[in-house]
């Protein structure tokens, strides 16, 4: 017995976005990865329960986002959960159109298409029109930290979820000011740098329960992704959203 569950955006395989690339193009290219992790507490330790990534490719107001889901298979009383890729979404931010495909291929056929995607909620993947605001209380700067040679501003916070107060930690990447790839507009504007990672902890603040992170991968696409962009732009011209 199995089921497929689409995770909420902030709750929470990957297609390669290689930095070993060819020629520069006229318009800047950006490849990001959304890393989502959920933990469970076992013997006073945080153990990864499920972790997966969703890749995003963006160029000149056109974005392609990977759509992932969680599959749960039950063996007797034991559940095994793992991520799967269920499709890809092409989004034209200027026209506010979206198209969904089963695979990241220049020959993939359109499965669904939508109009006015700035005003509707689409399940899964990166939401290019995201306007939601996270309520974080007691946001306190605790200094800088360096990860893989990149400096991040580090803050602690308390998030109000229903009647609970959940402690957490946030990382802000100040060298990426102006990017649309951030976890929350309001918090980023308040701090002055894009929020790129949030981690929720147990009530005592000692162990993580879940995290979501935006990772910048490359400023160029592999040729395979360029071919997809070209083909899907052509599909958009030939099959406009009614």
Residue identified by tokens 């899907």 is: 232
Q: Angle at CA 136, nearest 5°, toward 130 and 138?
A: 155
What are the structure tokens assigned to 185, written together? 């507009």
Q: Angle at CA 52, nearest 5°, toward 210 and 30?
A: 105
Distances in whole angstroms, Cα of residue 163 to Cα of each of 116, 140, 160, 195 = 34, 22, 7, 24
Mean predicted confidence (pLDDT) in 110-137: 87
Mean pLDDT of the chain: 86
pLDDT classification of 11: cutoffs 50, 70, 90 = very low
**Is residue 223 pLDDT above 60, yes or no?**
yes
**Is residue 42 pLDDT above 50, yes or no?**
yes
Mean predicted confidence (pLDDT) in 111-122: 91
Distant-in-sequence contacts of 140-146, Cβ < 8 A, 24+ apart: 145/171
At residue 77, the pLDDT reads 66
Instruction: Please indicate whether residue 28 or residue 232 has the higher confidence score (pLDDT).
Output: 232
* Residue 27 per-residue DSSP state: S
Domain boundaries, the chain: 2-15+29-238
At residue 26, the pLDDT reads 64
pLDDT classification of 120: cutoffs 50, 70, 90 = confident
């Amino acid at each position: 017995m199995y089921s497929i569950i689409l995770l909420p955006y902030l709750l929470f395989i990957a297609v390669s976005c290689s930095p070993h690339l060819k020629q520069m193009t006229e318009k800047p290219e950006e490849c990001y990865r959304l890393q989502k992790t959920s933990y469970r507490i076992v013997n006073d330790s945080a153990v990864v329960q499920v972790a997966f990534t969703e890749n995003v490719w963006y160029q000149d107001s056109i974005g392609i986002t990977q759509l992932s889901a969680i599959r749960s298979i039950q063996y007797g009383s034991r559940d095994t959960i793992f991520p799967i890729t269920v499709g890809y979404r092409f989004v034209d931010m200027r026209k506010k159109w979206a198209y969904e495909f089963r695979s990241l291929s220049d020959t993939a056929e359109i499965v669904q298409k939508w109009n006015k995607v700035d005003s509707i909620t689409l399940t899964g993947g990166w939401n290019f029109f995201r306007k939601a605001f996270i309520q974080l209380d007691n946001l306190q700067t605790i200094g800088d930290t360096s990860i893989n040679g990149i400096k991040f501003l580090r803050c602690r916070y308390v998030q109000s979820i229903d009647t609970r107060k959940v402690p957490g930690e946030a990382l802000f990447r100040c060298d990426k000011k102006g990017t649309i790839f951030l976890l929350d507009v309001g918090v980023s504007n308040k701090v002055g740098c894009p929020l790129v990672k949030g981690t929720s902890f147990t009530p005592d603040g000692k162990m993580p329960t879940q995290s979501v992170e935006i990772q910048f991968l490359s400023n160029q696409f592999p040729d395979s992704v360029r071919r997809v962009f070209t083909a899907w732009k052509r599909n958009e011209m030939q099959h406009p959203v009614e």
